[in-house]
Structure 1
């Protein structure tokens, strides 16, 4: 494994362990989370173990792991010398490591329906949306490790809003989504072309599907099409797709030189 990959996965593992320790300490015991299988439209199947009681909502989380593994082994391109390639690989592999961690955490929430798993699932969502912002800033401003740390630190600390209001997490998530799209559009304007614009549009469309399908899980279950493969299941499919299109968008921009003012690409 390349040194950049090992360092990226180590950083993701350390950050994840710190989050687990914080959740287990009870600091987020006051956060409102929904626990219980009644909050999902997919009906549990009797006779199956807990980790497969809702089989489709459970197994869809394998897609995150497969996605992370796929992008982890892919090559990272960047204009310039070996240092630029190492940095591009680090940015990519941190994002891939986040996918590798996020899938099992969501599966744990589905299987156990515990408060701790639900809080961890919510919390880890935020730095995932923040990483494309940090990646874009590195593309625009150059390699600044302190910037990556600052963005991710601010993102993790924003989960404190969930302690202040029952809808605090939703507010933080909405700000993360808007910031990610806004920064992506800014970087697209500076460096992007037709291909990256296509990936960005598909990523935003997948993000909209992720939100709408998840929120409408029970309402959609009135229709036969969504009674087994429910809105929650399809929202996770959209989530994996937005992850994938974010990879395509960002890795494509890694290989692009910054566009000169007034220039065409």
Structure 2
């Protein structure tokens, strides 16, 4: 149990370190990113200056990233319990562990972007988004007919390399992200067709709603304060992160339901 989680942790850590090093070397310095307070609707109120230091001038957008860590840690713990009682297999656990360890790392990466407003931290934030959606496709393929290590590595390599679109087009990231979302939705629908159980419908629909909410709220961040000044505190960017965190939770729930169902069916056939 511990070894599977440690293996996933080491793999995610190594890949993340390589990504950070490539960004540090400046390979993506020409990529377009939105850096600076002018791109965020959240305003630093006078009362926060009495509580937080000046560099923590977007507290809502900073602390919301703890949600990724909480959800990731929760599902890592839940995966360990499920593996211990043999509800899932070792190969299933790798998918859960990897996804949720990525979530915890992602929370930290986004917090660094908010706090520093450095171009390179923004690049890493963008780049790290893509493997999340590709992992949903990989996960679906695993449940469908098995994908194997070679398949996982191939698809994740394609996902990571797709960020190079940012070097040839101003909206390369948006193009890559849209393709990743389509892959994720296609994979999720495909595996549901194979295991069409009612319990999986709700988390799937909510994941789509939260995904759409994540995109819309982030794009509308600077426009929402025109509707109500409240959105200068509880900003669209902050709410988009709430939607994203809930999306990750729903994806976990969706694959948890399908994985348990698939394993229960296989166990019945083997008896």
| TM-score for both structures, normalised by structure 1 | 0.92
Query: Structure 1, residues 140-159: CA drift from partner, whole Å, max 9, x if none?
Result: 12151111111111000000
Q: How far did 1:2 drift?
A: 1.4
CA–CA separation in structure 1 for the residues paired with 2:145 and 2:54: 47
Matched, 1:65 2:65: no
CA–CA separation in structure 2 for the residues paired with 1:153 and 1:57: 30
Aligned residue runs from structure 1 range 99-178, under 5 A: 99-178=103-182
SS in 2 for 1:218: coil
Q: How far did 1:50 drift?
A: 5.1
Matched, 1:234 2:222: no
2:56 match: 52
1:262 match: none
Q: Relative to structure 1, is the Cα distance of residues 118 and 64 closer, same or farther in structure 2, using a 3 angstrom cutoff? A: same
Structure 2 unaligned segments of length 5 or more: list them. Answer: 266-271
Verify the 8 A CA contact 1:50 1:111 in the aligned structure 2: no
Query: Structure 1, residues 30-71: CA drift from partner, whole Å, max 9, x if none?
Result: 111111011000013463335521010111001011111111
| TM-score for both structures, normalised by structure 2 | 0.90
Worse-superposed segment, 225-234 or 103-112: 225-234
Q: How far did 1:191 drift?
A: 1.4
Structure 1 unaligned segments of length 5 or more: list them. Answer: 260-265
Q: How far did 1:225 drift?
A: 3.6
Q: Relative to structure 1, is the Cα distance of residues 134 and 55 closer, same or farther in structure 2, using a 3 angstrom cutoff? A: same
2:268 match: none
CA–CA separation in structure 2 for the residues paired with 1:5 and 1:52: 33
Q: How many residues align?
A: 258
Q: 2:92 aligns with which of 77, 88, 94?
A: 88
Q: Relative to structure 1, is the Cα distance of residues 50 and 139 closer, same or farther in structure 2, using a 3 angstrom cutoff? A: farther
Verify the 8 A CA contact 1:50 1:112 in the aligned structure 2: no
Worse-superposed segment, 68-77 or 4-13: 68-77
